[in-house]
Amino acid sequence: MGTRRVELQPAYVLHRHPYRDTSLLVEAFTRDHGRVGLVARGAKRPRSAMAGLLQPFHPLLVSFSGKGELQTLAGAEPHGRASVPRGRDLYAGFYLNELLLRLLRRHDACPELFEVYAAVLGHVAAGDDVEWALRLFERHLLDALGYGLSLLYTVEGVPVEPGEWYRYQLENGPVPGERGDGVAVTGRALLALASGEAPDAEAREQSKRLLRAALRVYLGDRPLQSRELYRQTLR
């Protein structure tokens, strides 16, 4: 990858941590360049305003340059109102960020997923049906990765019926019947995920089990820190 200069790119900070004596290493999700690693030189110095800007859930315009895995952050400025989750919903925001960190490769542009992320973050910050917002983000994330679920048709190409039971086989798709290999799910849950319309509690739980199983294939056995932190708050 040759040296490049990117100006005023819409972005969100996913994670940051100290880098050397006075700098920060920032993982950012950008609209047109995907996930990028940025070195914010001097951001830890007392007079630097950069550290205050480089916070998760704050929409930014960032400029950066360089080549290879890490780019040099040249500037950052606010770009609209921040959508900062509160209370326990903060862990939902961390969950979104952790999924992107774990599953997105650097420099793979996902502009549609970027817009979905911004919209879902707004729902989470407003406390607006947070659980369902997470399910829709998970579905869109799988689509962006090229691992989208088949939600409208069975493996035989027959339209999914809301009142029927299926076993969702991750390598194939939904198979009619309540028993057998795969995740048990009703057509109602599959169609809700396809349309985005929030279903009843039972279908929500089925959707959660299905998406968790699908994501586990790509996340592996290492647990999500955001999920563990949330569980600790419930003790």
Average pLDDT over residues 92-105: 96
26 Cβ partners below 8 Å, 6+ apart?
Answer: 13, 15, 16, 37, 38, 39, 40, 54, 73
All domains in the chain, ordered by first residue = 4-78 (2.40.50.140), 89-233 (1.20.1440.120)
Q: What is the pLDDT of residue 233?
A: 67
Average pLDDT over residues 72-76: 95
Residue 2 pLDDT > 70, yes or no? Answer: no
Average pLDDT over residues 154-165: 97
| Average pLDDT value for the chain | 93
The pTM for the full model equals 0.93
Give the tens place of pLDDT for each residue, 222-235.
888 887 777 766 55
